Amino acid sequence: MSMHIATGYVLLHDPRLNKGTAFSDQERRKLGLDGLLPPTPLSLELQVARLHEELAELDSDLQRYLFLSDLQMRNETLFYAVLMSDPAHFMPIVYTPTVGEACQKFDQIYRHPRGMYLPFNARGRLREVLSNWPQKDVRFIVVTDGERILGLGDLGVGGMGIPIGKLALYTACAGVPPQYCLPVTLDVGTNNHTLLEDPLYLGLRRERVRGAEYLAFIDEFVDAVQALYPKCCIQWEDFANFNAVPILARYRDKVCTFNDDIQGTAAVALAGIFAALRLTGKTLAEQRFLFLGAGSAATGIAELISLAMEREGIDLTAARGRNALFDIDGLLVTSRNDLADFQEHFAQDHAPVTTFVEAVKALRPTGIIGVSTVPKLFNQEVIEAMAEINERPIIFPYSNPTSRSECTAEEAYRWSAGRAVFASGSPFSPVDIGGRHFMPGQGNNVYTFPAMGMAVFATESNRVTEEMFIVAAQAVAEQVTEEDLSMGLIYPPQSRILEASLHAAERIAAFIFDRGLARVPRPDNVGALIRARIYRPVYPE
């Protein structure tokens, strides 16, 4: 590593080293900064307070997103100090739901080079292109091909907002040092013709690559990552189902990798279920779930629930039978001939059912889980049917962003007479019904993927396994207090996200050591290992 220390004007334009107005008088003289800054230094605490006020003056969350994005490029320490000063407030700005709008308007609001773009026309030389990244020790890549961004569809290179946002949360929520993180977009074209006809569109102007060519491109990318960054974990993000499932299957046993939409979503749903069972007084083995949506998120959640049931002594086939899926063509039943391989485990031996409320009445689930990205499908009839069948119906509308949620918190509580155990994918405000105050939980993947990242970072794990996500789910659920539960909250408050993530990371790391997956020696104290690796947003002396 070079001992050259940036000084003067160059130093003020290095986001990792820049302290802005916090440089002391002594530092200004020593580093050639005299005259380049207003003369009175401010502490980091005052800088954070000033930015809180400045952000509050802006008119919209998209403006706040852009302001914070600019700050990240100017002064990384201050950016993370702001985020970590109030994570519950800032997470919806740097990630969902605001990031969805930022991705949609990517070409109009593009500011700075961030991360790496690997276009299909660079095939054959991806390793060379990827080596242009200045950091030579990358531990995390979050990568998208932009085809299925949240519930918004194909946004081409505009999808880059997702990897950037996810990696900011790795650091803000679990303390993963940002210098080890690399956002990547694989540009294989777009089938969004509005984008292709837009003169400002910044991606390749071609239809999406499919089939063998696409897979070869993915293979080349994975090989390039392995060659350049042998300790790197690849997180796949917002790929279309028909690519997401086979990509995960292709690499999960070969490299350190996971798909957050499939496995992270599953873990946070399972965490919500574990906590919900403390309210319903039932066991996991007694549950039956009905999913609205039958894509990779639904099957990922259903499979992790099934594996968790298996750990409690239920045969895996029987456990899968307790998880039913419903899509645009109705209940997934064995007589249908249009099911993908990854859906077949969950096909019910049942007559066809064409409406969701009929499926609720026929299967009598203890919980319904929405991953359809179609709003309002958990209507009054559905919620009332669930409340009729169950004393405490589990209602999880997990679709993002908020505009795609299957129902609101208020609807779930009102239509169930306050008996619903509720969590959603997007944030909802507290609800007062019948003299009771409810705090709706947000089943946000932020409870699991940063913790997984920190555990992998600290242990240098060579794989990410399904069981690691069950461990993560249990670790999240056990942090929900009785006071949280009394308000209907089944996730730890997001204000405690760093503490929650480090607890989960410690549990996952211990499991990694137990399974012999770590590439570092097991320490006497796993928690101390995690805490020794944490990034803290403070200026170096």
Residues 436 and 464 in one domain: yes
User: Has this prediction a pTM greater than 0.85?
Assistant: yes
Residues 51 and 119 in one domain: no
Residues 370 and 515 in one domain: yes
Residues 110 and 31 in one domain: no
β strands within 100-164, DSSP E: 116-119, 140-144
Residues 393 and 499 in one domain: yes
Residues 301 and 442 in one domain: yes
Exposure letters 279-296 (e unless 16+ CB within 10 A, then b): bbebebeebebbbbbbbb
Residues 160 and 203 in one domain: yes
Residue among 427, 83, 103 nearest 238 (CA): 103
pLDDT of residue 5: 77
Contact call for residues 497 and 87 (beta carbons, < 8 A): yes
Distance of CA 170 to the CA centre of its chain: 9
Would you say residue 117 lies in a domain?
yes
Would you say residue 484 lies in a domain?
yes
Distance (Å, rounded) from C-alpha 448 to C-alpha 473? 7
Residues 469 and 344 in one domain: yes
Q: Is 376 a catalytic site residue?
A: no
Would you say residue 280 lies in a domain?
yes
Would you say residue 345 lies in a domain?
yes
Distance (Å, rounded) from C-alpha 366 to C-alpha 419? 13
Domain total in the chain: 3
Would you say residue 36 lies in a domain?
yes
Q: Which domain holds residue 435?
A: 261-541
| 3-state SS assignment for residue 334 | coil
Residue among 241, 244, 332 nearest 291 (CA): 332
Would you say residue 110 lies in a domain?
yes
pLDDT of residue 402: 83
Would you say residue 91 lies in a domain?
no
What's the token pair of residue 400?
């993002």
- Give the CATH number of the domain where residue 119 resides: 3.40.50.10380
- Give the CATH number of the domain where residue 39 resides: 1.20.1370.30
How would you write 393-411 as a 3-class SS string? CEEEECCCCHHHCCCCHHH
Contact call for residues 443 and 398 (beta carbons, < 8 A): yes
Residues 68 and 131 in one domain: no
Residues 204 and 112 in one domain: yes
Return the half-sphere exposure (C-beta side, CA atoms, 13 A cut-off) of residue 205: 9
Contact call for residues 304 and 263 (beta carbons, < 8 A): yes
Which of 80, 108, 127 is at the close of a domain? 80
Please report where in the chains the tokens 């302001």 appear, as a residue.
67
Cis, peptide link before residue 97, omega less than 30° from 0: yes
Please report where in the chains the tokens 């944490």 appear, as a residue.
534
Residues 26 and 59 in one domain: yes
Residue among 179, 204, 199 nearest 189 (CA): 204
Q: Is 95 a catalytic site residue?
A: yes
**Which backbone phi and psi does 183 adopt, to 5 degrees?**
-80, 135
pLDDT of residue 1: 38
Of the candidates 95, 398, 535, 539, the residue annotated as catalytic is 95
Q: How many residues does the chain have?
A: 541
Question: Where are the alpha helices (H) located in 41-124, listed in sequence order?
Answer: 44-57, 61-74, 76-85, 87-94, 98-104, 106-109
Cis, peptide link before residue 401, omega less than 30° from 0: yes
Would you say residue 527 lies in a domain?
yes
Of the candidates 65, 166, 251, 491, the residue annotated as catalytic is 166
pLDDT of residue 4: 63
Q: What is the pLDDT along the chain (541 residues), one digit of tens a residue?
A: 344 678 999 999 999 999 999 999 999 999 999 999 999 999 999 999 999 999 999 999 999 999 999 999 999 999 999 999 999 999 999 998 899 999 999 999 999 999 999 999 999 999 999 999 999 999 999 999 999 998 889 999 999 999 999 999 999 999 999 999 999 999 999 999 999 999 999 999 999 999 999 999 999 999 999 999 999 999 999 999 899 999 999 999 999 999 999 999 999 999 999 999 999 999 999 999 999 999 999 999 999 999 999 999 999 999 999 999 999 999 999 999 999 999 999 999 999 999 999 999 999 999 999 999 899 999 999 999 999 999 999 999 999 878 899 999 999 999 999 999 999 988 899 999 989 999 999 998 999 999 999 999 999 999 999 999 999 999 999 999 999 999 999 999 999 999 999 999 999 999 999 999 999 999 999 999 999 999 999 998 8
